[in-house]
């Protein structure tokens, strides 16, 4: 389970290493870097889908996502004796992402493509490393990429073998060198990263996918747009924790109960109404809470689930039920919640232990004062 996240040179995250707990709340004022942190996690998982470079290109290319402040912020600059200004760059342009748990670590370093590359804004992968145990060292390194050259260390003899010598700067060794015979760990890493789940702005507007009629098929994972809500709820009922679902719904809307019929789909029976209401008829807040139930009570929990501002459009009364739901879901997977809602954060605190990361911006740079950064070393170029 991911324990440490490291980001450097990405938007306002100039240099940040953070511990992730079973349930972590990331908070901070507007512009402190919460969304950037959410996106950094998503970029890591996109490596495994072969979408990293395309994703960064969609954000405006390297020049736009790269830390826009000075390479180093000296003490004179921080104390105001020196204006914030660019200094002569000493190191290469670099955007780095990495994470580790107790068993493995992985890091990637992106830079400018070579001069002859026809797409000068696309980031190029300069370096990738994967290691065992908590710390990167010569001895713990077992998958190593420099430029186009990828080497893997044999599991039995410990000898380095070449896995690729001309890997494209836009392709990751995680997707291109993962084969069961030689790159089994890379394959395992790819599968893990692919499974990370992200929920951001689950739509509840009148045209929201969740409001449309749906085909009821086996759906252990709610789609990121919530389009298969009814089927996901039916699947929780069939093979998951239906009791937790009923408790969550009753806790949020006392006296209400979800009904799922194979032919008719989902409906919510509410106190005082003569007939149950279909998703198309539910209020925004009610629908959003049901979407969160479906996401969080997935019968196939991922290693990591990340939710960006799940409380949006929920009534303050729903913060405690939502906190309970998050807590319950965190028994089965690691959860990172990005939120600036004080009521939700307080409610999560009342449910028990959680990691709280409060982001602040200082000299344009996102910092996490009060959070002890775990040990972390970046692979060198
Ligand atoms: N390339 C960049 N370099 C430095 N700062 C950036 C860059 N791109 C965006 N920012 C700044 O990063 C800050 C954090 O943005 P964001 O993560 O969206 O904050 P939040 O979600 O906490 O409101 C914003 O104030 C934005 O101006
Ligand atoms: Mg934001």
Query: How confident is the prediction along the chain (381 residues), in pLDDT tens digits per residue?
Result: 899 999 999 999 999 999 999 999 999 999 999 999 999 999 999 999 999 988 998 998 888 999 988 887 777 777 777 776 666 667 788 999 999 998 899 999 999 888 888 888 888 999 999 999 878 999 999 999 999 999 999 878 889 999 999 999 999 999 999 888 878 889 999 999 999 999 998 999 999 999 998 888 999 999 999 999 999 999 999 999 999 999 999 999 999 999 998 777 899 999 889 999 999 999 999 999 999 999 999 999 999 999 999 999 899 999 999 999 999 999 999 999 999 999 999 999 998 889 999 999 999 999 999 999 999 999 999
Q: Is the CB of residue 276 below 6 angstroms from any atom belonging to ligand 1?
A: no
The confidence score (pLDDT) of residue 91 equals 74
Any atom of ligand 1 within 6 Å of the Cβ of 68: yes
CA angle 73–79–82, rounded 5-degree value: 65
CB 170 within 8 A of CB 125: yes
Q: Which atom of ligand 1 is nearest the CA belonging to 359? A: 22
Q: Is the CB of 156 under 6 A from ligand 1?
A: no
CA atoms within 13 A on the CB side of 323: 21
Q: Whose CA is nearest to atom 27 of ligand 1?
A: 31
Distance 361 CA to ligand 1 centre (A): 9
Q: What is the pLDDT of residue 63?
A: 85
Written as six digits, the tokens of 176 are 């291109």
CA of 302 to the centre of ligand 2 (A): 24
Predicted confidence at residue 313, as pLDDT, reads 86
pLDDT at 178: 86
Q: Which two tokens stand for residue 274?
A: 């003569």
Whether residue 202 contacts residue 292, with contact meaning beta carbons closer than 8 Å, is answered with: yes
| Residue positions counted in the chain | 381
User: What count of other Cβ atoms lies within 10 Å of the Cβ of residue 11?
Assistant: 20
Task: Please list the residues that pair with 162 across neighbouring strands.
Answer: 151
Correct CATH for 197-351 of 3.40.50, 1.10.472, 3.80.10, 2.60.120: 3.40.50
304 φ, ψ (degrees, to nearest 5):
-140, 135
What is the distance, to the nearest Å, from the Cα of residue 357 to the centroid of all Cα atoms in its chain? 15
Q: Which residues surround ligand 2, an ion (CB under 5 A)?
A: 34-35
Atom of ligand 1 lying closest to residue 340 CA: 22
Q: How many other C-beta atoms lie within 10 A of the C-beta of residue 361?
A: 15
Q: Ligand 1, from 9, 12, 69, 86: best to mutate by most atoms within 8 Å of Cβ?
A: 12
Q: What is the b/e burial string over 286-312, where b = at least 16 CB atoms within 10 angstroms of the residue's CB?
A: bbbbbbbbbbbbbbebbebbbbbbbbe
Q: Tell me how far apart the alpha carbons of residues 174 and 78 are, in angstroms, rounded to a whole number.
A: 39
Angle, alpha carbons 14-20-25 (nearest 5°): 90
Pocket test for ligand 1, best of 8, 9, 11 (most atoms within 8 A of CB): 11
CB contact at 8 A, 98 and 105: yes
CATH 3.40.50 residue ranges in the chain?
197-351
Could you give the strand order of the β-sheet that contains 23-28, starting from the edge strand earlier in sequence? 197-200, 304-308, 334-338, 23-28, 355-362, 365-367
Q: pTM of the prediction?
A: 0.93
| Ligand 1 neighbour 34 (Cβ under 6 A) | yes
In terms of C-beta distances under 8 Å and separation of at least 24 residues, what long-range contacts does 340-346 make, across chains too?
340/27, 340/28, 340/29, 340/30, 340/34, 340/309, 341/309, 341/311, 343/311, 343/316, 343/319, 344/310, 344/311, 344/319, 345/25, 345/27, 346/319
> Interior CA angle at 275 toward 274 and 278, to 5°?
150
Tell whether ligand 1 has an atom less than 6 A from the beta carbon of residue 32: yes
Pocket probe for ligand 1: among 9, 16, 30, 36, the residue whose CB has the most ligand atoms within 8 Å is 36
């Amino acid at each position: 389970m991911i324990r440490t996240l490291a980001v450097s040179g990405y938007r306002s995250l100039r240099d940040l290493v953070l511990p992730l707990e079973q349930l972590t709340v990331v908070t901070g004022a507007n512009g402190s870097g919460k969304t950037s942190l959410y996106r950094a996690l998503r970029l890591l998982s996109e490596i495994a889908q072969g979408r990293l470079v395309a994703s960064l290109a969609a954000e405006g290319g390297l020049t736009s996502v790269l830390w826009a402040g000075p390479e180093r912020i000296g003490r004179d600059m921080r104390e105001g004796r020196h204006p914030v200004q660019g200094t002569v760059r000493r190191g290469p342009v670099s955007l780095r992402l990495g994470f580790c748990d107790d068993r493995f670590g992985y890091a990637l370093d992106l830079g400018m493509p070579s001069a002859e590359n026809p797409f000068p804004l696309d980031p190029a992968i300069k370096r990738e490393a994967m290691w065992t145990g908590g710390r990167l060292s010569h001895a713990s390194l077992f998958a190593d990429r420099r430029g186009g050259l990828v080497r893997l260390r044999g599991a039995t003899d410990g000898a380095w073998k070449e896995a690729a010598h001309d890997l494209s700067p836009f392709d990751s060794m995680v997707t291109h060198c993962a084969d069961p015979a030689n790159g089994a760990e890379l394959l395992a890493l790819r599968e893990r990263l692919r499974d990370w789940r992200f929920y951001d702005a689950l739509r509840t507007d009148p045209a929201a996918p969740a409001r449309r009629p749906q085909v009821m098929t086996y759906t252990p994972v709610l789609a990121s747009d919530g389009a298969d809500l009814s089927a996901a709820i039916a699947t929780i009922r069939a093979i998951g924790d239906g009791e937790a679902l009923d408790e969550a719904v009753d806790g949020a809307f006392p006296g209400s109960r979800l009904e799922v019929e194979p032919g008719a789909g989902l409906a919510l029976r509410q106190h005082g109404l003569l007939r149950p209401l279909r998703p198309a008829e539910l209020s925004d807040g009610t629908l959003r809470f049901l979407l969160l139930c479906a996401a969080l009570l997935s019968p196939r929990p991922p290693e990591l689930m990340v939710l960006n501002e799940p409380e949006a459009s929920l009534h303050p009364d729903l913060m405690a039920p939502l906190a309970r739901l998050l807590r319950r879901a965190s028994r089965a997977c690691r959860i990172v919640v990005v939120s600036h809602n004080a009521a939700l954060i307080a409610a999560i605190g009342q449910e028990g232990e959680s990691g709280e990361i409060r982001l602040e911006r200082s000299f344009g740079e996102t910092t996490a004062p009060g959070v002890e950064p775990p040990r972390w070393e970046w692979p060198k170029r």
